[in-house]
Amino acid sequence: MNLHFIFDLAKRDITEKYSGSTLGAIWNFIYPLVNIFIFTVIFANLMGSRLPGSSSTYSYGFYLTAGIIPWTAFSNTLLRTSTVFLDKKYIISKVKVNLSSFPLFIAISESITFFVTMGIFLILLVISGYGVSRTILLVPLLYLIQQMFAYGLGFLISIFVVFIRDLKEMINIVLQFWFWFTPIVYLYDVLPEFAKKILVLNPAFAFIHGYQSIFIYKEFPDLEILMYLALTACVILFISYFIFRKLEKDIRDCI
Amino acid sequence: MIKVSRISKRFTSYHSPADRLKEKIFRKKYHRDIIALENVSFEVKAGETLGIVGQNGAGKSTLLKILSGILLPDEGSIEIDGKITGLLELGTGFDHELTGLDNIFMNGTFLGMDKNEIERKKNAIIDFTELGNFIYEPIKTYSSGMLMRLAFSIAMHAEPKCFLVDEALSVGDVYFQQKCMRKILEFKNSGGSIIFVSHDMNAVKTLCDLTILLDSGCIVSYGKPKDIIDHYHGMILKKSHLGETEVKISEKKDLMGPQESKVSTEEVELLSFKILDLTGKEMTYVESEKVITIKYRVKALKELSDPHFGLHIRNRLGVSVFETNTYCMGEKTFPLKKGQVAELKWELDLLLSAGNYSFSVGVANKGYGRDAFEEYLFLAHDVKVLEVIPNSSSIVYSGIFNMKPKVTVQEELLEQISHY
């Protein structure tokens, strides 16, 4: 299956999700930005949350943003990849597509949204005087590992969603909980000791904490847990591909 | 070129999706097997067109889906050299919010064309659809005929090596259907192979080089379109037959065995069939627009209360030119006792254009309604072949038959012209 086809799908994904509407592709960026705006205004201004050890009014807002932008990319990729065979049923059941590489277009489309919103975030950081450190060069690597994990897990689930449609709803709920089990809104430091210990088992913690390290604390992210995450992602990809080969026939029959 | 070997496909029908899981865990069977295809093998060479006929549920669409890679077979293999494009159902992958033009690009990509190719062929595709400015409207405003035109145009221009056509072509007006047929013939002549699934028997007879008859997932027969379709009709008659004796179908076998295909309950026997000229001599060829006499004798092997006798003339492709029977003609016949022989004498003014024609005989019992019978006793295809040669003293024409036109040409008077 050629790369061109997948990129074409990704492009369509961005433009066509809102085809027929006036604002069109811009809607893609409005949701995450609105999220960030609400959290920042409510928490920073209304609730007066501040980041301990930082004098800037907006540092808490930035802390939130640094977590939400990647989380959006991660959860959207995971959710949409897991339901891709159902969503794109009208294509898959009529035209021959390579089912294992087909869902990649989702990861690519979410990446575009990610980099655009990240760009805006960087501009805000610079304008506000908060500044950025050279560690931001690690962001692409961090993002790659994160997306590998999202895609692998999404693909694994997508195989089973075809047979058990309820999984689709369950993923939504799991992601809701997952969001709150990851220190995006609250700080890692406020957690009790036992929570900090088990938090390392949360794969999302690895990359979210990584972004926060880079943007807020201007440090290097914890490379050790990132490596474990990368390894986990590879294992999941292998397993899901293996299971897919076994079940491809049944998947095609069921769609 | 497509080579299909021993394809089998079974669908497993589960009562609920949970049963699927139960089966994997408890290792007990929780499903019902539906055999869609069993041991199907055939070959289509470059430039050949294969027709697939059969009743609904025979497995035709499943076979096409397997050929286009949408479904995977349980057993067997497929060898295809080159690209295969299918036209399964309307609007393959169409997004209804987008315009026709956008869908050309989207659908074209799905069919394997890259962006440059589509850009190059864009105008040709639009011209073929004859949609004009509608191409810029969202396709949710299109009628099903318009959708078909768009889908067909894109698929054709994708230049596949092999083209799979399912019933999709049955939508669309006659003008466009004919346009599609012409394009398909062009495609054929340039060496493309086609697999054509249809219920339109005449289209199959005209377009296809070979035909497969599928029934309940198995190939029942495989051969020349005319013979296969005859067999298919025999099968249908068998199902409509309400008599007690079973209808038997015998196929035409090449070289060996009976040279005609026959459907019979074996309760009547065709004793003889002759085509005679006015002097009573048997003929193998005749000039067009001459009166011919057909005599055939039928022996009843059981008592027949209301027997009727038919005659069917077909052209060399097996397309029906004329058929009728004594019931449809309103002719009264008399009951036959066992062992009695009925002699039929038909007189026809044969206005047919030059060509080879075949004659078939049918015998049925107890007519009802407009043209139906309770018992279909006998149907023999192509009992005799007759060559019709042009009549030198008649007009020059082409087509199916001479309609014996009358025409006058007059000079228009000046006064009439000034009225305009």
Q: Is A163 close to B17, i.e. CB distance below 8 A?
A: yes
- Predicted local distance difference test score (pLDDT) of residue B255: 41
Query: H-type helices in B213-281, by residue range?
Result: 225-240
User: Do the chains contact at A94 and B92, CB–CB below 8 Å?
Assistant: yes
Tokens of A251: 């998947």
Chain B partners of A250 at a C-beta cutoff of 8 Å?
Answer: 12
Distance from CA of A75 to the nearest CA of B (A): 26
pLDDT of res. A207:
92
Residue among B346, B340, B333, B353 at smallest CA distance from B384: B346
Q: Do A249 and B95 touch (CB under 8 A)?
A: no
Q: Read off the pLDDT band of A57 (50, 70, 90).
A: low
Nearest to B345 by CA among B382, B294, B290: B294
Residue whose structure tokens are 């006798």: B309
Amino acid identity of residue B415, one-letter, is: E
B250 touches chain A (CB under 8 A): no
- Give tens-digit pLDDT for A68-91: 999 999 999 999 999 999 988 888
Q: Which two tokens stand for residue B15?
A: 């009562």
Distance, in Å, from the CA atom of B82 to the CA atom of A241, rounded to the nearest integer, reads 27
Q: Which residue of B has its CA nearest to A160?
A: B21
A82-121 residues touching B, CB cutoff 8 A: 90-97
CB contact, 8 Å: B68 with chain A?
A: yes
Task: Answer whether A253 sits within 8 Å of B11, measured CB to CB.
Answer: yes
- The verdict on a CB contact (< 8 Å) between A253 and B12 is yes
How confident is the model at residue A139, as a pLDDT?
92
**What single DSSP character describes residue B412?**
P
Q: Which of B72, B97, B98 sits opposite A248 (nearest CB)?
A: B72
pLDDT of residue B259: 52
Q: What is the pLDDT of residue A1?
A: 52
| Residue of chain A with shortest Cα separation from B64 | A94
Residue A162: closest CA among A107, A95, A110, A92: A92
**Cβ <8 Å between A91 and B111:** no
| Residue B89: per-residue pLDDT | 58
pLDDT at B260: 61
B69–A96 C-beta distance less than 8 A: yes
Q: How many Å apart are CA B396 and CA B287, to the nearest integer?
A: 13
Its sign, for the CA torsion A65, A70, A72, A75, is negative
| A169 touches B: beta carbon within 8 Å | no
The pLDDT, as a whole number, for residue B166 is 77
Q: Do B92 and A95 touch (CB under 8 A)?
A: yes
No. of helices (H) and no. of strands (E), chain B? 9, 19
The residue of chain B with its CA nearest to that of A252 is B71
Q: Tens digit of pLDDT for each residue in B53-109?
A: 998 888 888 898 898 888 999 999 998 887 777 665 555 678 777 888 988 988 888
Nearest to B109 among A5, A16, A96 (CB): A5
CB-based contact (8 Å) between B119 and chain A?
no
Above 90 in pLDDT, residue A6? no
Which pairs from A113-117 meet CB under 8 Å and 24+ separation?
A113/A14, A113/A28, A113/A29, A113/A32, A113/A72, A113/A73, A113/A76, A114/A69, A114/A70, A114/A72, A114/A73, A114/A143, A116/A29, A117/A29, A117/A32, A117/A33, A117/A69, A117/A72
d(CA A199, CA A183): 9
Distance CA B322, CA B311 (A): 8
Q: In what order do the strands lie in the sheet with B75-80?
A: B31-44, B2-14, B75-80
Sequential pLDDT tens for chain B (420 residues): 889 999 999 888 877 766 776 777 777 777 888 889 999 999 998 889 999 999 888 888 889 889 888 899 999 999 888 777 766 555 567 877 788 898 898 888 877 788 888 899 999 999 988 888 989 998 889 888 888 888 888 888 888 878 888 765 666 677 877 788 788 888 888 888 889 888 888 888 888 899 999 999 999 999 999 888 888 888 887 777 766 666 677 665 544 434 566 777 788 888 899 999 888 888 888 888 989 999 999 999 888 999 999 999 998 888 889 999 999 999 888 999 999 999 999 999 999 999 889 899 999 988 888 888 888 888 888 888 888 988 888 898 988 899 999 999 998 887 655 555
The predicted pLDDT at position B372 comes to 87
**Which residue of chain A comes nearest to B69, CA vs CA?**
A96
CB contact under 8 A, A94 and B18: no
The H or E element spanning position B271 is: strand B268-276
ipTM: 0.74
**Spatial distance between the Cα atoms of A207 and A197, rounded to a whole number of angstroms:** 16
**Which of A6, A18, A96, A102 is most worth mutating to test chain B (most B CB atoms within 10 A of its CB)?**
A96
A12/B contact by beta carbon, under 8 A? yes
* pLDDT above 90: residue A107: yes
Measured between beta carbons, the chain B residues lying within 8 angstroms of A165 are 17
The pLDDT tens digits for A144-160 are: 999 999 999 999 999 99
Q: Smallest CA–CA separation between A90 and chain B, in Å? A: 6
* Minimum-distance CB partner of A94 among B21, B88, B109: B88
Which chain B residues have a beta carbon less than 8 Å from that of A10?
none
Which has more pLDDT, A179 or A163?
Answer: A179
